[in-house]
Amino acid sequence: MKKKYINSLWILSALFFISSVQAQTKITIENTEDAPVISKHIYGHFSEHLGRSIYDGLYVGEDSPIPNTDGVRNDLIKALKDLQIPNLRWPGGCFADTYHWRDGIGPQEDRPTIVNQWWGDVTEDNSFGTHNFLNLCEVLGAEPYLAGNVGSGTVQEFSNWIQYVNHDAGSPMAKLRKENGKEESWDVKFWGVGNEPWGCGGNMDAEFYADIYKQYATFLTSWDKDAKLYRIASGPSGDDYHWMEVLMKEIPPELMEGVALHSYSVIDWNDKGPASDFTEDHYFATMTEALKMEEYITKHSAIMDKYDPQKKVGLIVDEWGGWYDVEEGTNPGFLYQQNTVRDAMIAGATLNIFNNHSERVYMANLAQAVNVLQAVALTQGEQMILTPTYHVMKMYTVHHEAQLLPVNFESPDYTYNGKSLPAVSISASKKDGKVAISLVNIDSKKENEVELDLGELDVEGMTATILTSDKLQDHNTFENAEKITPEEFKDYKLRRGKLQVTIPPFSVIVLESE
């Protein structure tokens, strides 16, 4: 009897030990010479006239005691430069289809005011306009991405804006620009033809917008065959595959260089949940929505491939990110929310998806740059803090313009309340003889062990950085601005071309070859 009891204990202990050991996930990284290059424009940003995004975010005015360059905060300029921001979208969003660009040029005291009907019904004084934005892009070294007014504008107005910013001389709009102090043109390449026409941009159906787009695109020209415009049609939201089908079928390829996709990680539009004081129910539901990006891009790409097998038209995910209830005591129309480790999980996993689909995804724009939605920076008077999302974007700069290294693996599951999601995501690239690997584990409790086969890549040594914290709800504050920052990571081994990594729960890791 005693012997049986001891044997039973041993068996139970062994079973417990086996169940507690984390199974290792095998990942193969391929060194494929014809793999696509990951466009740096995938790491773009978005700044709309919304809440405190422009005013009190980017722009404080030249007379502000806050150190600034032409009215734009110097601390934010430095932060965005350090992020190697490749492009910046402006002035909207929904605001774009109420914006008339001539209201924002000339002496500031002469500019008319309007009411921002979409975002808080506040007065917009147009003190930040075309010159301010395009000059800022020059300072940042970023490509401007201008969203034109289709909903309440005209073809002539849009065409004149292009002429104003791009035509060197000999036209009325170039003359007007010179009178306003800018002798040389800015040569803006990226132009969005309206925004969300299925909603705030006019409540159109796909067929109607396709016709409107063709009309506008016909008159959007650059006058310089060597500086062709990149015209971006307003595409679908999420899983509206009909919208994509209509645009790809009806718009001739010579009139469209890109088509936009919008997708936010929203649990419920009527009850989005808190930004920082959230439960695991909220977290799992948010990540479920975020990871749908893989399905959306795959299915939209398949439609695009049917009409554009050469992949000449880029998929432009120019609005993405987490969207929650606003912080208590703030204007509901300002969309100000905190940014936690959960947002780092959204950012890391989403960017991995974009990288792995870089044969079709050419550009993406996180919504938004400062003080709105999943911002990379938050400001309060003279203070500015960088968010976990900022740090992920900076860690991933190693992928800019690098050649994709395709990966093959089956992710372990993150299981909660009987439902499962892929716990681990990865993307890899090579540039200038160096390999970069980004890993994300969204599991709220379990670490995950992975083994990466680097045999084809001739990697002899690596360095690594990790972003994580004690709790998913952790975030940087104005009282503790560096609670969450990247740290050196050492829980990995590289032996004979095999890289073994233990990824802690809710963490982002980037490894680089030496």
In this prediction the pTM is: 0.94
Helix ranges (DSSP H) in 192-260: 206-218, 241-250
Q: Which CATH number fits domain 40-401: 3.30.70.100, 3.30.420.10, 3.90.76.10, 3.20.20.80?
A: 3.20.20.80
CATH superfamily entry for domain 21-33+406-513: Golgi alpha-mannosidase II (2.60.40.1180)
Specify the domain boundaries for CATH 3.20.20.80 within the chain: 40-401
Please list the ranges in the chain whose pLDDT falls under 70. Answer: 1-22, 223-227
Catalytic residue among 48, 124, 143, 196: 196
pLDDT of residue 22: 57
Catalytic option among 48, 124, 289, 319: 319
110 Cβ contact list (under 8 Å, min separation 6): none
Q: Which amino acid is located at 20 in the chain?
A: S
Residue 465 is given by DSSP the state E
The partner residues of 68 in beta bridges, in order of sequence, read 73
Q: How many CA atoms lie within 13 A of 331 on its CB side?
A: 12
Handedness of CA 220, 225, 227, 231 (dihedral sign): positive
Give the span between the Cα atoms of 425 and 412, in whole angstroms: 10
* CA 280-285-289 angle, 5° bins: 145
DSSP string of 74-111, one letter each residue: HHHHHHHHHTT--EEEES-SGGGGG--GGGGSS-GGG-
Told to judge if 62 belongs to the known catalytic residues of this protein, a careful annotator would answer: no
Range(s) within the chain of domains with CATH label 2.60.40.1180: 21-33+406-513
The predicted structure's pLDDT at residue 225: 57
Confirm whether 447 is a catalytic residue.
no
Q: How far is residue 89's CA from residue 87's CA, in Å, rounded to a whole number?
A: 7
